[in-house]
Structure 1
Amino acid sequence: MPSLHDKVVAITGASAGIGEATARLLAERGAAVVLAARRGERIDAIAREIRETGGRAATCVVDVTDAGDLRRLVDTTVERYGRIDVLVNNAGVAPISPLADLDTEGWSAMIDVNLRGMLNGVAATLPVFREQGSGHLVSIVSVAGLSVSPSMAVYAATKNAVRTVHEGLRRESTDGVVRTTAISPGYVRTDLADSMADPRIREQTRENMAAMGIPPAAVARAVAFAVEQPADVEVGEINVRPTVQA
């Protein structure tokens, strides 16, 4: 199994689901991880469990919609471990509903967290990556943006915007300093449905997750695969979905 002992990784949305699974797996493989989320008590508990099993873990309470919080996450990571090699941009919300419902607050929330939150991460890490001479941005996107389903137009739009930013950053980084990876999960057993505004869609999503969803660890393994590649290899995109998902 590849070792990640030389990697320092900050992870947003690390209090549950894919973020938590990623923190646990990367720490198990030797990386130093900094867990970031709004729920401070929860990430503190996860970090404590990682340290109790011999891993290296710290925490930072972060709201990704606040650019200052992302800068503080990067500063905390560098102060604690001397550098930041990877930012896993995982925080996301999905208050999806038909466009005709005119849920403008939900639209704004998805834009602010899913897209602006990722851009805040780019703004916080890119200068540090350039100064270090290396860095890796990994974003958890979604297969929802590959084929837009009813009620998911704005959610898919934010995810496709993240893909676009990734490709732009890749094209601007062919000097080999910054690597980018966009990982698009299908149905994963997480609490993402809790943020869905429409009760019918929320219940249907929960049923689909229960029936076919893969564990968050499956996506965490994809993150680890991308991160553990040598410096001259960039894994640009990975789609991870249940084998039975249409």
Structure 2
Amino acid sequence: MSKSVAIVTGASSGIGKATALRLARDFSSIVLAARDGESLASVGEQVQALGAEPLVLELDLMAATAAETVVNATIERFGRIDALVNVAGAVPGLDVFQMTDDQWNTGMELKFHGARRLTIRAWDALKSSKGSVVFISGNAAVIPKAGAAAVGSINAAIEALAKAFAEKGIEDGVQVNSVSPGAIMTSRRLGMIEKAAAAKGITLEQAKHAFLVQAGVSRFGEPEEIGDLIGFLVSPPAKWMTGSVVRIDGGEVKSV
């Protein structure tokens, strides 16, 4: 394993955790950033068991100084950055008429501005290493719904932001792509299904089935499947692939 360093935000659970564990197979060091320190420490132990050196950073990416903290700690410890995967940022799925300005701003601040600030702060190191950046958006970017207005709006903004960074990356030698997952079975997804089951007075399995029928897919995706895709995107065989929005959704998006 050559000396290489990847930063993964939102690394305490779900797609972020799966991505960190996948990259631990190819990178010598993994920087784990998230708010849940206890879960993050556990992921750090798993990363170490896979043979990579972890750096655990418990912090909130909504803080204006968080990006500087992550990059400075990474450079001080490892001296380089080869990949940045921006996963952090759960957005509330609320009706467009119900969301307050604070709820809109919170979603945008963490998922959009948090990723934007971190990418900018890491850019010089990524330029030096000819590294890679991956943003996580979601199918709501192209399937916007009134009941999840912020999710769609912020995911669409993320995809546009990634395209902008990708254009700059062509000049600077930094590869930038975004990954758009469909319905992934995370703890957050399970909570949504449980809430729907309780509201409708149906079983959990019935609620899961109803969601799959509505999405037009055969099953939920697994976080590890997203991690595997990201592992490919930041690997040498994918190096000419930049500015792409890669949808991995079991066929949910039907448009061309």
TM over 0.5: yes
In structure 2, runs of 5+ residues without a counterpart are 213-217
Query: 2-side partners of 1:89 and 1:202: how far apart?
Result: 33
Percent of residue pairs bearing the same amino acid type: 23
Query: Is 2:238 the partner of 1:227?
Result: no
Match of 1:180 among 176, 186, 189: 176
Taking the aligned partners of 2:220 and 2:42, their CA distance within structure 1 comes to: 26
| Moved >3 Å (runs of 4+) | 192-196, 199-209, 243-246
Aligned equivalents of 2:198 and 2:184: distance in 1? 14
Map of 2:73 onto structure 1? 76
Code of the residue aligned with 1:45 in structure 2: it is S
Paired residue for 2:246?
238
Evaluate the alpha carbon distance shift between residue 195 and residue 154 of structure 1 in structure 2; reply closer, same or farther with a 3 A threshold.
Answer: farther
TM-score relative to the length of structure 2: 0.83
Alignment partner, residue 63 of structure 2 = 66
The structure number with the bigger radius of gyration is: 2
Equivalent residue pairs, number: 239
After superposition, give the CA deviation of every residue in 1:119-163 in whole Å (9 maximum; x if it has no partner). 111222123333x25232111110110121231222211111111
> Partner of 2:130 in structure 1?
134
| Conservation of the 8 A alpha-carbon contact between 2:8 and 2:31 | yes
Pick which of 226-235 and 11-20 moved more: 226-235
| Equivalent position amino acid for 1:50 in 2 | V
Counterpart Cα distance in 1 of 2:152 and 2:199 = 19
Aligned to 2:48: 51
RMSD (Å), alpha carbons: 2.7
Q: Distance in 2 between matches of 1:67 and 1:77?
A: 17
* 1:108-187 to 2 correspondences below 5 Å: 108-130=105-127, 132=128, 134-187=130-183
Judge conservation of contact 1:97–1:201 (CA < 8 Å) in 2.
no
CA distance in 2, matches of 1:179, 1:190: 28
